[in-house]
Structure 1
Amino acid sequence: MSLFARKNIDDLQADAFSEGEHSLKRELGVGNLISLGIGAIIGTGIFVLTGTAAAQHAGPAIMLAFVLAGIACVFAGLCYAEFAAMIPIAGSAYTYGYATLGEIVAWIIGWDLILEYLFGAATVAAGWSGYVNSILRDIGIDLGPAWTNAPGHLVQTPGTNSWVRHTDELAQSLAAQGIDINTLPQANGMFNIVAALGIFAVTVLLVLGIKESARFNNVAVAIKLAVVGAFILAGGYYVLTHWSQSIDHWTPFIPANTGPRQFGWDGIVAAGGVIFFAYIGFDAVSTTAQEAKNPQRDMPIGILGSLLICTLLYIIVSGIMTAIVDYPALNVAEPIAVAIEATGYSALAKLIKVGAIAGLTSVMLVMLMSQPRIFFAMSRDGLLPPIFSRLHPRFRTPHISSAMTGLACAALAGLYDVSTLGHLVSIGTLLAFVIVCGGVWYLRVKEPNRPRPFKTPLVPLVPILGMVTCIFLMSRLPREAWERLVIWLAIGMVIYFLYGRRHSVVQRLHRQAHDVEPPRPTYTSGDSR
């Protein structure tokens, strides 16, 4: 059996446009696709990771980190757009890898995408809970740190009600301000039940149907963009009217390097690797290709349009945020709330929190929508058990895999913090992007004349730049992220060889093609024997 057996692209294209009770509904137009992309992209980067990346890695130069990560995403996005238009089927990078580089590579991508979507949704839920808890405290409800944080030693930051993980970096930052971390309130986290409940609610919505989920997402995206716009206007006004303070917060723009991946140019690159997680929404669009009305035209628009809009917003918001608040104070789960509260615009602060909750909810929705569709594609190929491709008889959604994904994600969201999950998600996403870029280049050489509704420009330059940029960002992530990636992929390979390879549809067809005996010659009565 060949580990590099490929799926036939013509068969994939025929399957993409098949209709029936075992196929997904085509309900999404170009507006829905752009909205889904924005729904996944605008959220974690602005509302959660901007603060931690600035505080731990880049300082005010977080803006440059967003530029770096955005450039890498443009290269990968162009490659995704070509594949999504040519092979408009559920499965995203997994399916693209199967059609170009073979089954073993497809399995690696599919298993790796669990890090991107399932772990990604858990990361978002951890940040989402920070904003929910902040609003609850505003109305006099304090659930306490034990059941609103992942397990670990916590400290309450000065001047806020936010609890953050006790780290050496935080202690050093506070010491520089003349604050002994041991004099601050201490607590221990047990399980983030708020994050888990958020995942459960989104999972129920996804089971009810793609159209209902898309409508909810459209409303959430509208609220989110309105709130981001309000923050830009109000925050920008505050920066201009407090210009000397803003300059102080931006100085030095690139803080001096204090260790590996801590500030300086090394820290900017490290921050680029961390916040790369914030951009993964554009490839989540490609997982809905089999539910798009006109995928060959609309998928490239949805992917690239959402990516370009969001990159600009990221740069503006991160610049305003670090101008309002000195960057060490942004190492919290709700940095944008901390920034707007520092302006004194109390009414807007509450509005920002509501918008952040809506925004992060839409991110969770898109990610939890994407993961079961990866499982759906892998199950139909025989690499996962049939239960993962079972559709609800009424809603025609992968309800069982959605429920299983939701349960696993809720457990992760409750047990791990944003930073731990964020690093793992970033390295998994970057690996998937490397393989997709390589797949475009390979297929251009292997099948140069195949019709492509959208063509990545400047091949092989763009795919090569995409691979190099992503590998470079991967190299700057912590060693722990690499160790966890290797362990995760090793677990995946065990599952593949014990189950996936034995039940693979492509491998079965490959065996049948090689086991068929050649036809015996037939004779007529006049033939000699």
Structure 2
Amino acid sequence: MLKQLFAKHPISASPHVDAGVLPHDGLDGEPTLKRVLSARHLVTLGIGAVIGAGIFVITGQAAAEHAGPAVMISFIVAGIACAFAGLCYAEFAAMIPVSGSAYAYSYATLGEIVAWFIGWNLVLEYMFAVATVAAGWSGYFNECLSIIGHWTGMSLALPDALASAPFKFAGHNIVATGTLINLPAVAIVAGLTCLCYIGIRQSSFVNGIIVSIKLIVIFLFLIFAFRFINPANWHPFIPPAEGPGQFGTSGIFRAAVLVFFSYVGFDAVSTAAGEAKNPQRDMPIGILGSLAICTVLYIAMALTLTGIAPYRSLGTPEPVATALSFYPQLLWLKAIVSFGALAGLSSVILVMLLGTSRIFFSMSKDGLLPLAMGRVHPTRRSPSVATVVSGVVAAVTAGLFPVSILGELVSMGTLLAFTTVCIGVLTLRYTRPELPRAFRVPGGMVGVWLVSGLGSLICLYLFWQSFQVNWPLIVGWTTIGMAIYFGYGHWHSKMRNPASRG
């Protein structure tokens, strides 16, 4: 029984890629995902996923509730952890160019039960990321309606009953807020799910347009807000502690967990490995390139945002717009930022929906989820059933729950996935040294020990900071996942039913 639980997915050489692939990505006569993405597409997918809620939502909340102006340090801490994990992801994605991301890597190195655990947490990461960002999108959508209403002299903003979550978390309890549903959040998830269903080529094209728009908006904000920075807003840079995780040094690390959510997108690039034209060359470029660009932008935004407004005022669903509201002469920029945020957050939702469906697709191909989830549309070449299921669940979650608690849960799932990827790269260096590696963690074995060790330790430390507060939720999520695995996945796994392998 124990041997079956830790059975590893075989990695074999394949004629259509330069390294190892998992069997279900072979050419078996069934419709498969189409390899159409270039390095440019992958970088824009990464930027599309990373630059969004972190800048337009999470930065303000992390500063207002945990770190103050020192949220910049929180971004650096989280960025270092992501840099280590990113190097490990790049080696894996170039070596095993399939759609399963950390799930597939764990299956090949640490065994089925670990792969299920990580896959289940990737579902938590991507699907709840969609819901979290959609909740932030709703706040900016209502802000845009208010702006248009101001221009036209009409009242267009939706009432709270239709634009905010009907449930919130009070401690470890779920309580009603008296509202009905977050309708804009549901609508944006539904619309982008339809786009994902149409196909990866169309989704990538739309994402490229959105990324261009939001980068222009960010640069406009940095340029025009810079002269309004008041250094007094940065003092004290590290506010005195007011409790565990509330300002002080502990607040910086608690905020690092929260802003870690801002970096989630770079690992979503790896879920597109099965659709990359030249994954050995392009996946490292997409992962590390998008991570480097986004880290610089995050630090610049954190400094500017806390420099133009008191950090305690930024704990709103639209902190950038809130900060600009202090300056009447920048109201024109506030309007542009609000509309730009809609575009920015839309691309995050789009890429995360793509990632969720690809994780479901890979787990289904291995028999751990119903086979229908692994069905590929014969003409659109997208995982159609997995896309619809992902969109429906994410839309319901976005319509019912608030942004703050979802963000922390997403970060916890991400950190666990990053930890296993760091450990997996080191493991495979010893167990399968003969596999071709188009990209390697630099520094030889000393380098991989350093990167893997520090990456996994930092990720586990950040995970523990949030686990102490939210452990009932993550334990509950894990319990549900294990119940599904032992009730269905374990008995239908293609590792135990070789005749059913496709």
Structure 2 residue aligned with 1:32: 41
- Cα deviation for residue 166 of structure 1 reads 9.8
Q: 1:402 aligns with which of 367, 371, 387?
A: 387
- Structure 1 residue 147 corresponds to structure 2 residue 162: yes
Structure 1 residue 199 and structure 2 residue 151: aligned? no
295-304 or 2-11: which moved more?
2-11
Contact 1:97–1:435 under 8 Å retained in 2? yes
Q: Which residue of 2 aligns with 1:58?
A: 67
Q: 1:9 to 1:432 in 2, by over 3 A?
A: same
d(CA) in 1 for partners of 2:319, 2:178: 21
Q: Is the 8 A contact 1:427 1:481 kept in 2?
A: no
Q: Is the 8 A contact 1:90 1:287 kept in 2?
A: yes
Deviation at residue 330 of structure 1 after TM alignment: 0.5
Deviation (angstroms), 1:188:
3.9
Question: Once the 2 structures are TM-superposed, how far is the Cα of residue 450 of structure 1 from its aligned partner?
Answer: 2.2
Q: Which residue identity does 1:128 align to in structure 2?
A: W
Counterpart among 130, 137, 140 of residue 131 in structure 1: 140
* 8 Å CA contact retained: 1:427, 1:482: no
Specify which of 64, 88, 92 is matched with residue 83 of structure 1. 92
Partner residue of 2:370? 385
1:422: which partner in 2?
A: 407
Q: Distance in 2 between matches of 1:337 and 1:25?
A: 40
Task: Give the residue type in structure 1 aligned to 2:303.
Answer: G
- Can you list the C-alpha shifts for 1:415-466, whole angstroms capped at 9, x where unaligned? 1111010011110110111111111111112122322111112011100100
TM-score, normalised relative to structure 1: 0.87
Q: 2:222 is matched with which residue?
A: 232
How has the CA–CA distance of structure 1 residues 17 and 456 changed in structure 2, closer, same or farther, with 3 Å as cutoff? farther
CA distance in 2 between counterparts of 1:427 and 1:131 reads: 26
Q: Give matches, 1:327-346, under 5 Å.
A: 327-344=311-328, 345-346=330-331
Tell me which residue corresponds to 1:223. Answer: 213
Whole-Å separation in 2 of the counterparts to 1:390 and 1:151: 35
Q: How does 1:437-456 map to 2 (within 5 A)?
A: 437-456=422-441
Query: Structure 1 pair 96/202, CA: closer, same or farther in 2 (3 Å)?
Result: same
Q: Which residue of 2 aligns with 1:260?
A: 244
Q: Find 2:51's aligned residue among 27, 42, 50.
A: 42
Structure 1: segments with no counterpart, 5+ residues: 154-164, 168-186, 240-245, 513-529
- Cα 1:20–1:40 change in 2 (3 A) is farther
Matched with 2:397 is 412
Show the counterpart of 1:294.
278
Take 1:132 and 1:376, find their aligned partners in 2: how far apart are those partners?
Answer: 32
Q: Offset of 1:511 from its aligned partner?
A: 12
For the residues of structure 2 that align with 1:112 and 1:322, how far apart are their CA atoms?
33
Specify the alignment match of 1:172 in structure 2: none
Match of 1:68 among 74, 77, 87: 77
Residue type at the aligned position of 2:144: I
| Contact 2:167 2:401 survives alignment (8 Å) | no
Q: Which of 4, 7, 10 is matched with 2:9 structurally?
A: 7
Q: Give aligned-pair identity as a percent.
A: 51
Q: Which residue of 2 aligns with 1:308?
A: 292
The 8 Å contact of residues 21 and 396 in structure 1, kept in 2 or not, is answered as no
Q: 1:138 deviation in Å?
A: 1.5
Q: CA RMSD in A?
A: 1.8
The count of aligned residue pairs is: 476
Checking the alignment, whether the CA contact within 8 Å between 1:152 and 1:190 is kept in structure 2 is no
State which drifts further: 480-489 or 15-24: 15-24
Which one-letter code corresponds to 2:163 in the other structure?
A: T
Paired with 2:486 and 2:464, the residues of 1 have a C-alpha distance of: 29
Q: 1:166 to 1:503 in 2, by over 3 A?
A: closer
Output the CA distance in 1 between the equivalents of 2:411 and 2:464.
11
CA–CA distance in 1 between the matches of 2:109 and 2:46? 25
Q: In the superposition, relative to structure 1, how do residues 338 and 20 fare at CA in structure 2: closer, same or farther (>3 Å)? A: farther
Deviation sequence 1:167-194 (CA, Å, 0-9, x none):
9xxxxxxxxxxxxxxxxxxx84331111
Q: Which residues of structure 2 form unaligned runs of 5+?
A: 14-19, 150-155, 172-176
1:347 Cα shift? 1.4
The structure-2 alpha-carbon separation of the partners of 1:424 and 1:78, relative to structure 1 and needing over 3 Å to count, comes to same
- Aligned partner of 1:461: which letter? L
Tell me, in whole angstroms, the C-alpha distance in 1 between the residues paired with 2:28 and 2:188. 33
One-letter code aligned to 2:131: A
The answer to whether the aligner puts 1:353 opposite 2:355 as a matched pair is no
Contact 2:9–2:22, Cα closer than 8 Å, also in 1: no
Conserved? CA contact 1:145–1:188, under 8 Å: no
> Larger radius of gyration, structure 1 or 2?
1
Contact kept, 8 Å, 1:151 with 1:189, in 2: the verdict is: yes
The answer to whether the 8 Å contact 2:116/2:485 transfers is: yes
In the TM superposition, what whole-angstrom CA distance separates every residue of 1:248-304 from its partner, at most 9, and x where no partner exists? 211100000000000011000000011101101110000000100000000001000
Q: Distance in 1 between matches of 2:327 and 2:101?
A: 42
| C-alpha contact 1:250 1:323 (8 A) present in aligned 2 | yes
Q: Which of the numbers 437, 448, 453 marks the counterpart of 1:464?
A: 453
Please tell me the residue identity of whatever aligns with 1:83. F
Q: Per the alignment, do residues 30 and 20 of structure 1 end up closer, same or farther by CA in structure 2, a change over 3 Å counting?
A: farther
Preserved CA contact (<8 Å) 2:134 2:345: yes
